């Protein structure tokens, strides 16, 4: 089988490495991929959002199956275009990707189908939003309706901050049209859990749970990032909570999408908060999470390609989806200064991967034959072990053996999960 994977970050590297293990997969093209994946895929310089070029490439190269990983092409309709061209494809169609593409749509869907989430108000004009900000309880959670590179959520501790955020989103349009509408929602508390789930639109198979670390610095301080590290499984996500989530959130969401004529086939990401009133949805993503994928897929024991193919065909009820009961930890090595200003172009020296370790490259380029840093998040150092403590220790040992000039990582990935695990 000849596969193409659209996207170019650490998540895509993890997907490619997992697909490579399948005896049914011969060749993998990455569009565009990054230089750090050269050993695992053939890089094709076609951007993740260039859908017409992706379709042309798939047709001219006899691609048997495509995996669309990032949110942008999914929301723009890459799966619709590839399917129309006769290329079997993993990922939701445009009308289902809207579950991430529009927060207003997602909130309305949850309201219509009684799926637990934070109470909210939607505003389409700045004066109305500002008037609400004057009286709404603090802190206020303000979200741009559309995609905003993961930066569209502001937690405002003061009314001044709330009003500033509303001005920036709705008047200055810092996120473009994504900020034309905003959702202002109730501030929830409790541990966060990420659950990715395979689904073909009917059957849903949740993957092992995980915990992201979104803030840039230790102790969950600093700016929000795309994610500085992850562990799996998430100790807060007990079998009992998993059962509640299946009954009150996962199953109802899949049924709601199907009932509304938008069957969701692909990976549905549930960002959950375990509140004192029970699990609630913080966000849906229409794709694999990054860096959740980097800890979830190394624990998958079944054949990833067979699962993805079954999701596309509508036969997920007929395949095995099995995860090991080990633990995984991913430490992201970023360029110092990320997510604000940082330099790139520094040579990267990579060690040999240990037996139960993986290095997934997120942002790298090739300069004069040398692998150099090429983004804010540069790579993820991942370890799989019998216990969480061992997974953390080994992921840090691997991270510390990788060198580039302005490398930065959090030193506390997994610390909260370890403490929680000991309480239980």
Using CB under 6 A, list all residues that contact ligand AMP.
Answer: 118, 141, 150, 153, 155, 185-188, 192, 214, 224, 271, 282-283
| Residue 185, contacted partner among ligand GLY, ligand AMP, none, CB below 5-8 A by kind | ligand AMP
Residue 369: CB atoms within 10 Å: 5
Binder of ligand GLY out of 12, 72, 185, 292 (CB under 6 A): 292
Nearer to ligand GLY, 232 or 372 (CB): 232
Binding mask 363-382 for ligand GLY (x = CB under 6 A): --------------------
| Residue list 195-214, contact with ligand GLY (CB under 6 A) | 212
33 in contact with ligand GLY (CB under 6 A): no
Which entry of ligand GLY, ligand AMP, none binds 263, CB below 5 to 8 A by partner kind? Answer: none
Which does residue 187 touch among ligand GLY, ligand AMP, none (CB within 5 to 8 A, set by kind)? ligand AMP
Question: Which residue matches tokens 């389409």?
Answer: 124
For 329-365, give one letter per residue: b (16+ CB within 10 A) or e.
bbbbbbbeebbeebebebebeeeeeeebbbbbbbbbb
Q: Give yes or no for residue 185 binding ligand GLY (CB under 6 A).
A: no
Q: Give the position of tokens 């092409």.
A: 73
- The SS3 of residue 347 is strand
Q: Cis peptide before 32, with omega less than 30 degrees from 0?
A: yes
Q: Is 290 in the site for ligand GLY (CB under 6 A)?
A: yes
Out of ligand AMP, ligand GLY, none, which partner does residue 227 contact, by CB within 5 to 8 A per kind?
ligand GLY
282 interacts with, out of ligand AMP, ligand GLY, none, CB within 5 to 8 A per kind? ligand AMP
Render 366-417 in DSSP notation, one character per residue.
EETTEEEE-SSEEEEEEEEESSHHHHHHHHHHHHHT-B-TTEE--S-TTHHH
By the rule CB under 6 A, 7 interacts with ligand GLY: no
Contact residue for ligand GLY among 7, 8, 179, 289 (CB under 6 A) = 289
Lookup: tokens for 340 = 């604000």
| Interface region with ligand GLY, contact rule CB under 6 A, candidates 77-85, 284-292, 353-361, 416-424 | 284-292
**β-bridge pairing 65-68 and 89-90:** parallel
- Minimum CB distance to ligand GLY, residue 12 (Å): 12
Q: Measure Cα distances from 207 to 256, 267, 295 in Å.
A: 20, 10, 11
What does 57-121 look like in DSSP terms, one character per residue? HHHHTT-SEEEE-SHHHHHHTHHHHHHHTT--EES--HHHHHHHH-HHHHHHHHHHTT--B--EE
- d(CA 99, CA 92) in angstroms, rounded, equals 10
Scanning the structure block, which residue is given the tokens 């505003």?
A: 123
Residues 143-172 touching ligand GLY, rule: CB under 6 A, are 150
Contact letters for ligand GLY, residues 207-246 (x by CB under 6 A):
-----x--------------x-------------------
Q: Which residues bind to ligand GLY, rule: CB under 6 A? A: 150, 212, 227, 285, 289-290, 292
């Amino acid at each position: 089988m000849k596969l193409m994977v659209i996207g170019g970050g650490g998540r895509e590297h993890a997907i490619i490495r997992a697909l490579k293990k399948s005896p049914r997969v011969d060749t993998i093209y990455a569009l565009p991929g990054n230089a750090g994946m050269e050993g695992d895929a053939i890089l094709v310089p076609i951007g993740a959002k260039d859908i017409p070029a992706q379709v042309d490439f798939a047709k001219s190269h006899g691609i048997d199956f495509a995996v669309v990983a990032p949110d942008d092409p999914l929301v723009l309709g890459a799966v619709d275009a590839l399917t129309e061209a006769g290329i079997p494809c993993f990922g939701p169609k445009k009308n289902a990707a809207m579950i991430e593409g529009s927060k207003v749509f997602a909130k309305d869907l949850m309201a219509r189908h009684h799926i637990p989430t934070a109470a909210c108000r939607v505003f389409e004009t700045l004066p109305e939003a500002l008037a609400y900000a004057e009286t709404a309880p603090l802190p206020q959670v303000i979200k741009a309706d559309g995609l905003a590179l993961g930066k569209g959520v502001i937690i405002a501790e003061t009314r001044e901050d709330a009003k500033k955020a509303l001005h920036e989103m709705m008047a200055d349009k810092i996120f473009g049209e994504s900020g034309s509408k905003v959702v202002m929602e109730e501030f929830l508390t409790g541990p966060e859990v990420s659950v990715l789930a395979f689904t073909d639109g009917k059957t849903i198979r949740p993957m092992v749970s995980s915990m992201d670390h979104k803030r840039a610095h230790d102790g969950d301080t600093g700016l929000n990032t795309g994610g500085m590290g992850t562990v799996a499984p998430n100790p807060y996500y007990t079998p009992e909570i998993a059962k509640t989530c299946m009954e009150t959130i996962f199953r109802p969401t899949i049924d709601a999408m199907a009932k509304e004529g938008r069957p969701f086939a692909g990976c549905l990401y549930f960002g959950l908060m375990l509140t004192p009133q029970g699990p609630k949805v913080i966000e849906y993503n229409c794709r694999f999470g990054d860096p959740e994928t980097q800890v979830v897929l190394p624990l998958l024991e079944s054949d990833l390609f067979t699962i993805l193919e079954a999701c596309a065909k509508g036969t997920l009820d007929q395949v095995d989806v099995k995860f090991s009961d080990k633990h995984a930890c991913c430490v992201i090595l970023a360029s110092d200064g990320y997510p604000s200003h940082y330099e790139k172009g520094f040579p990267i020296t990579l060690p040999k991967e240990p037996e139960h370790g993986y290095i997934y490259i997120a942002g790298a380029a090739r300069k004069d034959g040398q692998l150099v840093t090429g983004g804010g998040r540069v790579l993820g150092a991942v370890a799989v072990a019998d216990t969480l403590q061992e997974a953390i220790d080994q992921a840090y040992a691997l991270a510390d053996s990788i060198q580039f000039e302005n490398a930065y990582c959090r030193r506390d990935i997994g610390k909260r999960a370890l403490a929680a695990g000991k309480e239980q």
